[in-house]
C-alpha cells in the first residue's frame, strides 16, 4: 500500500462524511457535489484495490491475508451502494447512510494500512 494513497482515501472519506452529515442535518438530497466526492473516493479505492492485490503476496499471515483481501474487494462496493441508496431514498436518512458508509471506508482503509505496515 502507498501511504499517500491511504491518506487520500481517508481524507476523501472524511470529506464525504462531513458533507453528507451537513446535508442530513439540513435535510438536503444528494446532488452533484456529493456524487463528485463519492466518485473521487471510488476511483481512489479502485487504485487501492489494484495496488493491494498486486502486493498481496507480501503479507505472510494467512488470516491477515484473508482480511486484507476481503477489505480490498469490499471497499469499492460501499460508496457505490450507499450513493445508489441515497439517490433512490428521498429522505435525510439517505445522507445518513452515505455518511456511515464514508466512515466505514475510512476505518477499513486505516486497518488495511495497519495490516500492510505490520507485514511489509
Nearest Cα residue to 50 out of 14, 103, 1, 100 = 1
Cβ-contact 3, 52 below 8 angstroms: no
The structure's pTM equals: 0.91
Cβ-contact 100, 92 below 8 angstroms: no
Nearest Cα residue to 72 out of 113, 34, 40, 15 = 113
Q: Give the model confidence (pLDDT) of 3-32 as tens digits.
A: 899 999 999 999 999 999 999 999 899 999
Amino acid at each position: 500500500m502507498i501511504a499517500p494513497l491511504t491518506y487520500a482515501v481517508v481524507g476523501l472519506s472524511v470529506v464525504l462524511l462531513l458533507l453528507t452529515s451537513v446535508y442530513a442535518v439540513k435535510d438536503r438530497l444528494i446532488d452533484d457535489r456529493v456524487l463528485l466526492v463519492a466518485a473521487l473516493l471510488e476511483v481512489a479505492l479502485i487504485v487501492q484495490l489494484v495496488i493491494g492485490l498486486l502486493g498481496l503476496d507480501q503479507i505472510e499471515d494467512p488470516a491477515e491475508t484473508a482480511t486484507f483481501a476481503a477489505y480490498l474487494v469490499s471497499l469499492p462496493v460501499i460508496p457505490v451502494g450507499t450513493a445508489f441508496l441515497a439517490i433512490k431514498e428521498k429522505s435525510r436518512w439517505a445522507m445518513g447512510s452515505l455518511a456511515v458508509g464514508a466512515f466505514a471506508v475510512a476505518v477499513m482503509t486505516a486497518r488495511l494500512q495497519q495490516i500492510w505496515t505490520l507485514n511489509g
